Amino acid sequence: MATLPTQAAFIVKTQTVTFPALTLDCGVTLMNVDVAYETYGSLNAERTNAILILHAFSGDAHAAGISSDTGQPGWWAEMIGPGLAFDTDRYFVICSNVLGGCRGTTGPSSIDPATGEPYAMRFPVITIGDMVRLQKMLVDHLGIDRLLAVAGGSMGGMQALEWAVAFPDSVASAIPIAATARHSAQQIAFNEVGRQAIMADPDWNEGNYYHLKPPARGLAVARMVGHITFMSDASMREKFGRRLRDKDAFGFDFSVDFEVESYLRYRGSQFVNRFDANSYLYITKAMDYFDLSTGRGTIARALEKARARFLVLSFTSDWLYPTYQSLETVAALRSQNINVAFCELASSYGHDAFLVETKEESEIITGFLESVQREISTDRVASKPRPAVEEVSSRLDYAMIGEMIEPGAHVLDLGCGEGELLAWLSEHKGIHARGVEIEGEKVRRAIARGVPAFQGDIEHGLADFQDATFDYVILSQTLQEMRYPLRVLREMLRVGRHAIVAFPNFGHWSVRLSHLFSGRAPQTTLFPYNWYESPNLNFLTIDDFVSLCRQQGWEIERQIFLEHNRKVGFLGNLRAQVAVFSIRSQNASSERIHPKQ
Amino acid sequence: MATLPTQAAFIVKTQTVTFPALTLDCGVTLMNVDVAYETYGSLNAERTNAILILHAFSGDAHAAGISSDTGQPGWWAEMIGPGLAFDTDRYFVICSNVLGGCRGTTGPSSIDPATGEPYAMRFPVITIGDMVRLQKMLVDHLGIDRLLAVAGGSMGGMQALEWAVAFPDSVASAIPIAATARHSAQQIAFNEVGRQAIMADPDWNEGNYYHLKPPARGLAVARMVGHITFMSDASMREKFGRRLRDKDAFGFDFSVDFEVESYLRYRGSQFVNRFDANSYLYITKAMDYFDLSTGRGTIARALEKARARFLVLSFTSDWLYPTYQSLETVAALRSQNINVAFCELASSYGHDAFLVETKEESEIITGFLESVQREISTDRVASKPRPAVEEVSSRLDYAMIGEMIEPGAHVLDLGCGEGELLAWLSEHKGIHARGVEIEGEKVRRAIARGVPAFQGDIEHGLADFQDATFDYVILSQTLQEMRYPLRVLREMLRVGRHAIVAFPNFGHWSVRLSHLFSGRAPQTTLFPYNWYESPNLNFLTIDDFVSLCRQQGWEIERQIFLEHNRKVGFLGNLRAQVAVFSIRSQNASSERIHPKQ
C-alpha cells in the first residue's frame, strides 16, 4: 500500500487561524497572530492519535498531499499519507508554518496591525520557544490535550526537543531527526554569513524593500551557502563531480564552467521567488539562539522534565547537524533514564537526507509510533513488542537467561541484534526492554519491532547511564568477541544490579584434547571457526570466568552449563559448551533506579 | 635551537624580477610579467640545496623572517629559518607570490602595459600550471637546475604536485600538504559562492573599481565563508563555543550576539585591506580548474612521469581538503611505484592546521629532507636511514628475518612501527625500505628517521600496489593480531615475491599442557596476557600455519624456530616460542617490478 503512486493524491488546503496575542521571549507581545496549518487524517474520539509535524528552516505548512492552491506535493509527502510512516489512516497529522515565516504565519513580511505596513525589521526577534508556544495554541485550538508524537528534521527537530521540555505533559513521544539541542559555533557562523550576504545587498535597504525590489543577489548568495551545507562532499561528487555545463572545455572566463556552479546559481535565484529575505534573518537568528539548556542549567537538566519517549535519528554524511550532536541529546536523555531509541542511518545525502531517505525513516518511525501507541492505549496486552518466538524458542541459552530474570524487570541487552531476545522476554516475562547494538541495520529492525534500541559500541556506550539503572544487564554470546571484556563487565555491574553473561566454553574437554594432540588453535563445536577467520578474540573457559569473578569480588548468584542443549550438573569446565552466569557486585546498591517508560 | 625566540628575527626584503613574456594555458601571452620573491639562506656551490616554498590562496612571497617593509613575520616563519624544518643554515629557500596575485606578482590589479590601466577583468584566466611555469622561470633565473624540494599547503600543495609532473627532472622531492590532485565539486562550490558574493556587490562594477571604492561588502562575505571552511567544527567550538560578545544575554537584535559573529565580521573586513577582489576571482578560478589528470588521462598517468620522492601530509580535522584527497594522490603514486611517505597528522585546527601544527610538520619534514639530501648526495654511505641498533640487536627474530633477505632488495614491512627493523635492514643489508603502520605517531617517527612510511591499515592498505612490487614483504609478530590474516597473507604474496612471517607459536608444549590441565585460556611466555586484556586475536600454532600454506598452495622456502633466543631443530610446534617463515606463491611471477627510488 505504501508504494501505490496514488497515495499522495489527496488534495489539501492550507487553513489559517488567528490568535489574539502571543508574548515572546524577548518581552514583546505580538497581536493578531496568524497561523497557517494543514491537517491530514482524522482525530479519533479519544483525541489520542494526533501527531504534530515540524518543518525545517525554509519549509511551510504544506507537508503532505497535493495543495489545492499550487498543485504541488507536500515537502514530506513520502512520509505522511495513507499507509505511510505517519499513517493518515491511523493518525491525525498536523503541520503549521512557523512564527516568523513567510508562508501564511505571521512574520516580518506580515502587516503590523499597529501601522498598516509590513513589520519588516520592526518585527521582534523570535526564538524556537516562541514558535513552539504558538504551535501549542494551535494544538489547544484543535482540542488536543496530548500529542502522540512531535516530529521533524533539522529546525523541526529542535522544535520537537523544545516541545518535550516546554510542554512535557502534552507530548507522548518526540522524534528529532538530524537536529541538535543547541546550535554550534559553526552553525551560527554559516547563518551569520547568510545574514551578512543579505544585509550587504543595497536592495535590502534596512529591511524596507516590500514596496521596492527584494535583495535578490544577497538572498541568492545566502541560499547558495546553505545548499552546500545541506549536501555532503560525497553527494556533490556523485551528483556533479567536475562535469562541465554545456561545454567540452574550460571557458577561461567567469560564466558558468561547472555543473555545480550552474546548480548553485539556479537554486539561489529560485529561492528568491519563494522566500522572504527578512524571514531568512529572523528564522536563522531563532536557530542560533536555540540552546535547550538556556535558563535550565544543562541539556540534561532541561530534559529532566520530559515525559516523552524519544526516537533520535541522524545521518552518517550530515556534517551540518552531525551525529555527535544527536548523541549529545541521547546522552542527556540516558543520564535522566528517559526511554530513548537512537539510530544513525547510512546516507550519502548529507543534511538533506532527512528529506530524501524516507524509506529507512519510514521503517523505523512506523514501528516506533506503533510501540508508542500500544503503550498509551488502555489495552495493556497489545503493548508488547512484536515477539519473534520462532527465532528464540530453539535457543536454550535464551531460555536459561529467561529463567534468571524476574518478571517485570528493567533489562538492558548488550549486543541486542534485532531485538529477538528482548522481544521474547517482553512477551514471556513482561520486562521493560532496552537494547544496545552496533550495527545500524539491526538497530533499525529492533526499533521497527518496537524494542527501544540504541546504536552504539558496547565497549564505550554505557557511560551515560547512571549507576543501577537496570535490574539486569545481559551479554549473550558476545564476551568472547570483546576487545576489553573486563571493562564491559565492570560497566554492566555498575549500570545493572545483576549481570547475565552467556559465553562458549573453550575449556570443554574436546577443545582441550584437540589442542593438546593436534597442536592446532582451539575451536569449539558451537563456534567451529578456523583461526584465520574466527570472530572470537578471547578463548576463555568457565574456570577463567569464575577466577575473574573471584579476583574482582563479584558474587556468582547462579550458573547454568549446557552441553548439546541439555544442562550439565558437574565438571562444567570440562563438559559444558555454553555457560550462563548471573553475577552481581558485592558492594552493589540494592536500590533500584528505573528508567522512565 | 628551534625554540629560540630570536630565530625568526632575520630581516628580509621582497625582490622583484620581470620576465618578458609568459604564454598561458588559455592561449594568451602576458607581457612584462613581474614576480615578487624572497630568498632565505645560501645556495651551495653545487646548487643542490634549493627548496621552493609555495603559498596558499591568500599568501604571498613573505614566507619567513621579518619584512623590512612591514616589520611583519612571514606566514610560515615557524617552519623556515636557521635550525627550523626548512633549515636556512642548510638549505636555500625561495618563495614567490603567485601569478594572478596582488602582492607584487603580476595580476588583475597590475597595470596592463598595452593600456596603461589596471588589467581588471581583462586579465586572462590563469591556471595552477601557469603559476608553476612562471615559478620555473624564477628558478631558472636563480641558476637552479634541480630543486631539492617543492613544498606547500593547500593551493601550495597543488602547485607542488603540478611541479613534480610538469618539470619531473627539476624536482628531487615534493611535499604537498593538505592538498588535492583535483578540486572537488564541494571545493568549487565554496569558491563559486565567494565569487558570486563579490560579483553581487554593486561596487565590484564589473571589476572596474581601482579608481573607485572596492567591493568591500562582497569580498568580506566571501572571506567569511572562507574562514568557516579553514577552521573545523571542533576548533570553532573550542575557540568560540556559544560565548556572547560583550554581553550577558541575547540582544534580540541583529547586531553582534556571539563571539563567532564578531570574529567573522572582523576577519571579513580586515581582508578587504590586504587583498584584491579581482585576484580573489582569478585565483579561486585557477584552483577550481586544477585537475592533475587534465590532458594526462588519469592522476596516476599524470604522476607516471614524476621523478620526485613524495611526502604527503593531511590533517584529521581538515574537511576542506580532507584526507581522502591526499590518499587519492598517494594511491596514484603507489600504483606507479613512486616512493611516497604519507601521514595524517592529528589536529583539531581544520585546514588551518598546515599553518598551525608546525611542530609536528617540522619533525617529519626535517627527517624527510635529510633523507632526500642523503639520497641525492654522492656520498652513498650517508644515504641510509638513521639506524636504531640498540632497539634491534637484542631481537633474534629480527636477525632471522635479516638472514632471509638478500642485500639490496626492495622490502615492505607491514606494521613497521617506528621503522626500527627497516632502518636496521637498510644499515646491514642495504635494502630499499618501505613501511606501513597504522599509528600516526609511529609513522611520524619512522619518516623522521628517514624510513618512507605510509600511514594505513595493513588489512586494507596494500590494494594500491601493483603485483610483485617488492622482493620481500614482512609481517613480524602481527599475524596473531590480524582480524583477517588470510586476506593479509594473500595480499603479501601478491605485492611481494616472498612473504616473511614471524609469529608466536601457541602450539608450544607449555601452552598446550597448561590449557589441558588448568582449563584456562592459552597464554605464551612471550605474550603472557590474561584472556581479558590480550591484544591477540588468533591463537595459531606452527602446524596451523604450515597447514594453511599447504591448503593455499604456498611454498615454504625457509622456516626458523626459536626458543629462548636459540634456534630449535626439531619438534618445532612443541618447542618453538616464535616461528619465522619465508613463503612464496607457487604461481608467483619471477619478474621484479621495483619501486622508483
CA–CA distances in Å: residue A111 to residues A18, A119, A495: 13, 6, 56
* Contact call for A260 and B189, based on CB within 8 A: yes
How far apart CA B371 and CA B367 sit, in angstroms, is 6
Q: How far is CA B9 from the centre of its chain?
A: 29
Judge whether A41 lies within some domain.
Answer: yes
Instruction: Decide: helix, strand or coil at residue B579.
Output: strand
pLDDT value of position B350: 97
Q: Please give the torsion angle defined by the CA atoms of residues A355, A356, A357 and A363, in that order, rounded to the nearest 10 degrees.
A: 60
* Contact call for A184 and B237, based on CB within 8 A: yes
CATH number of the domain enclosing B436: 3.40.50.150
Judge whether B380 lies within some domain.
Answer: no
How far apart CA B532 and CA B512 sit, in angstroms, is 19
**Could you tell me which chain A residue has the CA closest to the CA of B547?**
A520
pLDDT value of position A434: 93
In a shared domain, residues A345 and A402:
no
Active site residues of B: 154, 318, 351
pLDDT value of position B1: 38
* Contact call for B532 and A486, based on CB within 8 A: yes
- Choosing from A154, A170, A317, A585, the catalytic residue is A154
CATH number of the domain enclosing A69: 3.40.50.1820
Q: Average pLDDT of A263-290? A: 97
Tell me which of A331, A365, A399 is where a domain ends: A365
Distance of residue A513 Cα from the nearest chain B Cα, in angstroms: 7
In a shared domain, residues B151 and B28:
yes
* Contact call for A544 and B533, based on CB within 8 A: no
Q: Which three cell numbers stand for residue B412?
A: 615492505
How far apart CA A458 and CA A480 sit, in angstroms, is 13
How far apart CA B121 and CA B117 sit, in angstroms, is 11
pLDDT value of position A562: 80
pLDDT value of position B573: 66
- Choosing from A227, A351, A432, A508, the catalytic residue is A351
In a shared domain, residues A292 and A409:
no
In a shared domain, residues A269 and A410:
no
Give B217's contacts in chain A (Cβ within 8 Å).
200
Give B186's contacts in chain A (Cβ within 8 Å).
228, 231, 233, 236-237
Amino acid at A174: A
How far apart CA A438 and CA A318 sit, in angstroms, is 19
* Contact call for A254 and B186, based on CB within 8 A: no
Judge whether B475 lies within some domain.
Answer: yes
Give A121's contacts in chain B (Cβ within 8 Å).
254
Distance of residue A242 Cα from the nearest chain B Cα, in angstroms: 6
In a shared domain, residues A349 and A415:
no
In a shared domain, residues A265 and A413:
no
pLDDT value of position A503: 83
How far apart CA A532 and CA B20 sit, in angstroms, is 67
Highest mean pLDDT among A446-455, A538-547, B80-89: B80-89
Is A227 among the catalytic positions? no
Give B576's contacts in chain A (Cβ within 8 Å).
none
Q: What is the distance between the terminal CA atoms of chain B, rounded to a whole angstrom?
A: 32
Judge whether B395 lies within some domain.
Answer: yes
Domain range for A431: 384-585
pLDDT value of position A95: 98
How far apart CA B535 and CA B479 sit, in angstroms, is 11
Give A200's contacts in chain B (Cβ within 8 Å).
197, 201, 217-218, 220-221
In a shared domain, residues A426 and A571:
yes
Q: Is residue B597 scored above 50 in pLDDT? A: no
Q: Is residue B245 scored above 80 in pLDDT? A: yes
How far apart CA B178 and CA B191 sit, in angstroms, is 17
In a shared domain, residues A300 and A410:
no
Kindly report which listed range (B144-158, B222-236, B519-533) carries the lowest average pLDDT score.
B519-533
How far apart CA B98 and CA B52 sit, in angstroms, is 12
Give A261's contacts in chain B (Cβ within 8 Å).
188-189, 192
Q: What is the pLDDT of residues A553-594, one digit of tens each?
A: 999 999 888 877 677 766 666 667 788 899 999 765 555 555
How far apart CA B228 and CA B236 sit, in angstroms, is 8
What domain count does chain A have?
Answer: 2
Confidence band, pLDDT 50/70/90 cuts, at residue A4: very low
Q: What is the pLDDT of residues B164-199, one digit of tens each?
A: 999 999 999 999 999 999 999 999 999 999 999 999
Kindly report which listed range (A13-27, A526-540, B109-123, B395-409) carries the lowest average pLDDT score.
A526-540
Distance of residue B295 Cα from the nearest chain A Cα, in angstroms: 11
Give B257's contacts in chain A (Cβ within 8 Å).
288-289
Instruction: Decide: helix, strand or coil at residue A402.
Output: helix
> Rounded to 5 degrees, what are φ and ψ at B73?
-75, 155
**Could you tell me which chain A residue has the CA closest to the CA of B512?**
A516
In a shared domain, residues A336 and A188:
yes
* Contact call for B242 and A184, based on CB within 8 A: yes
In a shared domain, residues B303 and B395:
no
How much of chain B, in percent, has pLDDT values that exceed 70? 87
Judge whether B102 lies within some domain.
Answer: yes
Kindly report which listed range (A357-371, A508-522, A574-588) carries the lowest average pLDDT score.
A508-522
Q: What is the pLDDT of residues B1-18, one digit of tens each?
A: 344 444 547 999 999 999
Confidence band, pLDDT 50/70/90 cuts, at residue B480: confident
Judge whether B513 lies within some domain.
Answer: yes
pLDDT value of position A2: 41
Q: Average pLDDT of A385-400? A: 61
The ipTM (two decimal places) reads 0.88
In a shared domain, residues A350 and A403:
no
Q: Are residues A445 and A451 in contact, defined by beta-carbon separation less than 8 angstroms? A: no
**Could you tell me which chain A residue has the CA closest to the CA of B196?**
A221
- Helices H / strands E in chain B, number of each: 19, 20
Mutation target to probe the B interface, by most B beta carbons within 10 A, among A187, A199, A236, A254 is: A254
Q: Which residues pair with A175 in a beta bridge?
A: A151
Cβ neighbours of residue A189 closer than 8 Å, sequence gap 6 or more? B224, B227, B228, B236, B260, B261, B264
**Could you tell me which chain A residue has the CA closest to the CA of B289?**
A250
Judge whether B500 lies within some domain.
Answer: yes
Of B196, B521, B542, the CB nearest to A538: B521
Distance of residue A45 Cα from the nearest chain B Cα, in angstroms: 43
Q: Average pLDDT of B486-506? A: 90
Place of cell 512574520: A107
Distance of residue A557 Cα from the nearest chain B Cα, in angstroms: 21
Which pTM value belongs to this model? Answer: 0.90
In a shared domain, residues B306 and B359:
yes
Q: What is the distance between the terminal CA atoms of chain A, rounded to a whole angstrom?
A: 32
How far apart CA A40 and CA A38 sit, in angstroms, is 7
Judge whether A272 lies within some domain.
Answer: yes
DSSP state of A465: S
